[in-house]
A and B are shown apart, each in its own frame.
Chain A
Amino acid sequence: MRKSLQELEQIVPQIRRDIVRMVHAVQSGHPGGSLGCAEFFTAMFFNVMDYAPSPFSKDGHNEDVFILSNGHISPVYYATMARAGYFDVKELSTFRKINSRLQGHPATEEGLEGVRIASGSLGQGLSVACGVAQAKKLREDDKTVYCLCGDGELQEGQNWEAIMFAGHNKLDNLILTVDFNKQQIDGSTVDIMGFSELGSKFEAFGWEVLHMNGNELGDVLRGMGAALAASRQNKPVVVIMHTEMGHGVDFMMGSHEWHGIAPNDEQLSSALAQNAETLGDY
């Protein structure tokens, strides 16, 4: 059942609460990129994608498949999947703890429903998504493969192998979203290794390039709708998603400082005060 924009707007603050509570509880994890993608994940799992969370289909046959490449934003991935019904939200309390299925970076080893591939070592997800897209074509499955990667992650050369492959082979059932938050661990991407003309780079490899504001739910729905409309036209599609790292928690916003550190008790209270408990905390 696809949720309306108004319903999605109720889910997003709860996802943000889940993210900061998970990271705070274990005093580790990656809140910045997770928070910046809360709107995107909410839109994807509650509106855009056509899939059934239960029973979990490992091969995702005849459903849309989502491949997360930047696995460190596992808090938003887990929170959204739990809220979408892949597993019990209570399990979010086990994040990064011993004997948990919610590993620091997503894994299949512990059998967590919703995860089809391990990620964490960057630059691998788009290749995997290309493979799933080819499998769907071979099996005459007309559903879509979505992949999310970070912008800093595009410094990994394997991505460009995959970008070249997908363009050359016209993988038009593949939609990549780049989380363009312009931040990475050591600073801003502009300072470290910038991506001027990122869209032109994709276009040069034969991709259809779209843009959207990843922190505006309405624009995410518009952008991903446009991406789907642009698919199946002999080109892979990339959506350059402009986001702000840490979005929704004022003291974390726009800074790479919160890439991989956890809030303290006081900061947690402040973050929770900015995001209403709409669905009930886990």
Chain B
Amino acid sequence: MIQFDIQAQKDTRSGFGAGLLELGRTNDRVVGLCADLTGSLKMDAFQKEFPARFVQAGIAEANMIGMAAGLATGGMIPFTGTFANFSTGRVYDQIRQSVAYSHKNVKICASHAGLTLGEDGATHQILEDIGLMKMLPNMTVINPCDYNQTKAATIAIAEHDGPVYLRFGRPKWPVFTPEDQTFRIGKAWTIQEGNDVTIVATGHLVWKAIQAANELEAKGISAAVINIHTIKPLDEEAILESVGRTGCVVTAEEHQMNGGLGDSICQLLARKHPAPIEMVAVNDHFGESGKPEELLAKYGLDTPDVVAAAERVMRRK
């Protein structure tokens, strides 16, 4: 049984805001840029304390990404902030040429990713961003699971020399990882070892995966749970080690099945350890307005979906 004390219910975007504020105090090269969403991105505390190192880009995301590339060229460490949709799809060519291809030390920080932004609906619920970003050479892709991990990740990426996509979200979500954790880019966190099935989850769905593992245990099924906060570079060793024991995998993410974490794990297994896999993800569909929990249930991303996928995949061994 995985037992975590839920320390609080907090939004991961606030973890980003707290991390950025701490970075502002410890690293004078850190610059924040925001495209008219300072409150939503929780960048207001940084803006207030470091007005000279905060750039209000206005509703002009393409220019914001280009300016970030220029700030990085000039020796600064820029953190851009806007919704995930406007951080990726809207500015893909700017990221591709001016940031990724040009090896710029830009941190693209994206809130309101996935279905759980809720009522704003499909225009804002990007479910393709992980795929878009992981395809870019030189790009690191990180999707932490709670407030504490998002804060730790925000601080850690400042030390990494290179472009990073940091994805987080809007809703209040259980905070269960340690406040004082060390975040290692590319290093998976095996929350629980298991013998029957490996559940690999990222972002908000790590919490769902933990609930699912506990339900499976009540049914006599031993599930490993791996928190993949870094989708690229992928910690292949941790996954292969677990699958070597369990022989099957369930992936869980708030993203399209095409191009997401599950897609990366499929590639890994096909190349190095063929094994049955089931993917809990949005299946080639746009989202819609609704409450986060309603949306996760409707689109098959809830705890019962992870449990069902585990039972399905075990039958295929």
Partner of A134, one of B67, B93, B94, B97: B67
Residue of A nearest to B137 (CB): A109
- Interface size class on chain B is 20 to 34
Give complex CA distance A162, B58 in Å: 10
Interface residues of B in 54-87 (CB under 8 A from A): 55, 57-58, 60, 62-76, 78
Q: Separation in Å of the A67 CB from the closest CB of chain B?
A: 7
B94/A124 in contact, CB under 8 A:
yes
A161 touches B60 (CB 8 A): yes
Taking a contact as CB atoms under 8 Å apart, the answer to whether A158 and B55 are in contact is no
On chain A, the number of residues with a Cβ less than 8 Å from chain B's Cβ atoms is 39
Complex Cα spacing A164 to B35, Å: 14
Tell whether, in the assembled complex, residue A131 and residue B68 are in contact, meaning their CB atoms are under 8 Å apart.
yes
- A134-B71 in contact (CB<8A): yes
Contact with A along B86-110 (1 / 0, CB 8 A): 0000000110111001111000000
* Smallest CB gap from B71: residue in A: A131
Say what secondary structure dominates the interface of chain B.
helix
A61 CB–B CB distance under 8 Å? yes
B53 at the interface (CB under 8 A from A): yes
Give residues of chain A (115-164) contacting chain B, Cβ–Cβ below 8 Å: 116-121, 123-136, 138-139, 141, 157-158, 161-162, 164
Report B77 CB to chain A, min CB distance, Å.
10
At the interface, yes or no: A59 with Cβ under 8 Å from chain B? yes
Q: Which residues of A contact B78 (CB under 8 A)?
A: 131
* Residue B2 CB within 8 A of the other chain: no
B75–A139 CB distance below 8 A: yes
Contacts of B58 in A (CB 8 A): 161, 164-165, 168
Contacts A/B (CB < 8 Å), 19 sampled: A60-B74, A108-B101, A120-B97, A124-B97, A127-B69, A128-B66, A134-B67, A134-B70, A134-B71, A135-B71, A135-B74, A136-B74, A138-B31, A138-B74, A139-B76, A141-B74, A164-B58, A165-B57, A165-B63
Report which B residues bind A (CB closer than 8 A): 31, 52-53, 55, 57-58, 60, 62-76, 78, 93-94, 96-98, 101-104
